[in-house]
A and B are shown apart, each in its own frame.
Chain A
């Protein structure tokens, strides 16, 4: 049975194979995005001693579907003085990089859509493209609030990209590769080999600039409901508005997965090197304890939860404080730590001794 399936699979044209893989990657992702919005409302609700959505379906479980249906049937209003083509292409430009970046994310050893050498650079390049959706939306709307949001976003994303890039330079130095799979495998052998241990300052910088890159609270001056209404997407309605939201949530999941991959050993089990080898060969428990995709999902879920946690906990940063944090705190921290790492490599201390 499986053999005939495999031969059938191999008979398919390469283009169809790739398409099937893309669908197999994107469908769960879209489902996660939909239920991430529900999780956000529920979790922040509980943190604020409220119930959150609880009307549609059991305990509000069908709320995302109801929301999606409502947004699909709403009219898309195009402002009369807007630049039509750019106005409509902005959501696509925000959404496409958020999805395309998933092509190089490995879920398990070898379980990756495109196993390219420069995977880390590709991710960095694509996440920096997402800003175009925001800027074009702000300009094409022909509204001053939208333009203000777009300007804030451009400044913020360009500033934090530098800190993020430097944090990734540290990871690259420690692993000696730009391929995400090889970066994870370089952290094997037990959780004390994970990069979070030796690169802890870079881990903090990466998490903070990840929140800033996705324009999430406390760095959400781009939307700034209380100052500029909703920032760049104030003129959008219906599905065009929803696409911006999908892009934001897909980016949050991407940053969470990347944090897990780059600093927490991705799919590697934290029990490696602690339990005896016999434990991993037990029937079901052994599979659970051993490295696998479930560990990556658990680690990703933790950072996804943390995104919501920040939003419920921190007040919004002021614009000049955001710039100070990015340029005067995070970038010096990364430069100092890259220097420290260089010294450690030269003296052959730590995981770089080989």
Chain B
């Protein structure tokens, strides 16, 4: 067994274990951390396939930003674990159906021919993965790329307008106003004669 293959099996075992733990552990914070581990090991697998850009961006975006905010929310919430787990049996058939449908779709899209053990042959060019992706995204696929960006922008605007509430009567502080304050606005120097004893 080559070194690369051994690493593949180690990372895959960690990935499957972390994914299984993520849906079975009781504590939501532990579940989120298991998901982080799963992301991290799948990034390692991608890097082994010479897709270093995708791997590093997975760590940067999902592990470094999305999961941090996820943890942020999970830690602040007082999640009632017992209530989350009730109805597990009742929803199991629906859940299993959805999972099976997703698995079938994935297999049809990805194709069974890619399920193989030996690593793919190294790329013929010495141009990096990052550079190749950049060339493709900004030339051949520029319209799909821009469309995806616009859809994301619309989603951001929608999320903000849905959750933004203006509550009248709160003592709102505007730091932009505060940092503009000059010394003259706040203090007044008064010259006084010394008082007689």
Which stretch of B54-62, B87-95, B145-153 is in the interface?
B54-62
B187 in the interface (beta carbon within 8 A)? no
Closest residue on chain B to residue A124 by CB atoms: B60
Residue numbers in A under 8 Å from B131 (CB-CB): 117
Pair A150/B75 contact, Cβ less than 8 Å: yes
Residues of B within 8 A of A (CB): 29, 33, 36, 52-53, 56-57, 59-60, 63-65, 68-69, 71-72, 75-76, 128-131, 173, 175-176, 178-179
Q: Does A321 contact B (CB under 8 A)?
A: yes
Query: A136 CA to B60 CA in the complex, in Å?
Result: 18
- A317's closest neighbor in chain B, by CB? B175
Contact A321 B175 (CB under 8 A): yes
Find out whether the CB atom of A135 lies under 8 angstroms from the CB atom of B68: yes
Interface residues of A, dominant DSSP: helix
Checking A131, A155, A321 against B179 with a beta-carbon cut-off of 8 angstroms, the contacting residue is A321
Q: Find residues 120-151 in chain A having any chain B CB closer than 8 Å to their own CB.
A: 121-122, 124-125, 128-129, 131-132, 135-136, 138-139, 147, 150-151
28 example contacts (A-B, Cβ-Cβ < 8 A) are as follows A116-B52, A117-B52, A117-B128, A117-B129, A118-B53, A118-B56, A118-B130, A121-B53, A125-B56, A125-B60, A128-B59, A128-B60, A128-B65, A129-B59, A132-B36, A135-B75, A136-B33, A139-B71, A147-B75, A151-B76, A154-B68, A155-B72, A157-B68, A178-B128, A318-B175, A320-B173, A320-B175, A324-B175
Complex alpha-carbon distance, A158 and B176, angstroms: 21
Asked whether A328 is an interface residue with its Cβ less than 8 Å from the other chain, the reply is yes
> What CA separation (Å) do A328 and B173 show in the bound complex?
15
For residue A161, CB closer than 8 A to chain B, the reply is yes
On chain B, the residues within 8 Å of A151 by CB distance are: 72, 75-76
Asked if residues B130 and A178 are in contact (CB atoms below 8 Å), the reply is yes
For A125, A138, A154, A321, which residue has the most chain B Cβ atoms within 10 angstroms? A125
Report the minimum CB–CB distance from A219 to chain B (whole Å). Answer: 14
User: Which B residues are CB-close (under 8 A) to A129?
Assistant: 59, 63-64
Beta-carbon contacts under 8 Å, A47-102 to B = 86
Contact of B57 among A121, A318, A320 (CB under 8 A): A121
Contact of A158 among B56, B68, B173 (CB under 8 A): B68
Contact residues, A180-201 vs B (CB, 8 A) = none
Residues of A within 8 A of B129 (CB): 117-118
B64 lies within 8 A of A117 (CB): no
B63/A154 in contact, CB under 8 A: no
Beta-carbon nearest neighbor of A328 in chain B: B176
Residues of B within 8 A of A161 (CB): 64-65
> Which of the residues B68, B76, B130, B178 comes within 8 Å of A131, measured between beta carbons?
B68
Interchain CB contact under 8 A, B60 and A121: yes
Contact in complex: B69, A128 (CB < 8 Å):
no
Give the chain A neighbours of B176 by CB distance below 8 A. 324, 328
Query: Shortest distance in angstroms between B109's beta carbon and chain A's nearest beta carbon?
Result: 27
Q: In the complex, A246 Cα to B109 Cα: how many Å?
A: 47
B72 closest partner in A (C-beta): A154
Shortest B146–chain A CB gap in Å is 16
A233 CA / B36 CA spacing, docked (Å): 22
| Contact across chains for B60 and A158 when beta carbons are under 8 A apart | no
Q: Which residue of B lies closest to A116 (CB)?
A: B52
Shortest Cβ gap from A107 to chain B (Å): 22
Query: Nearest Cβ in chain A — how far from B66, in angstroms?
Result: 9
With a cutoff of 8 Å between Cβ atoms, the chain B residues found around residue A128 in the complex are: 59-60, 63-65
B67 nearest CB across to chain A (Å): 9
**Knowing that A118-B56, A128-B63 are A-B contacts, what are 20 other residue pairs whose CB atoms are under 8 Å apart, sorted by A's residue number?**
A116-B52, A117-B129, A118-B129, A118-B130, A121-B56, A125-B64, A128-B60, A128-B65, A131-B68, A135-B71, A135-B75, A136-B33, A139-B71, A151-B76, A157-B68, A161-B64, A178-B128, A178-B130, A320-B175, A321-B179
Q: What CA separation (Å) do A12 and B187 show in the bound complex?
A: 73
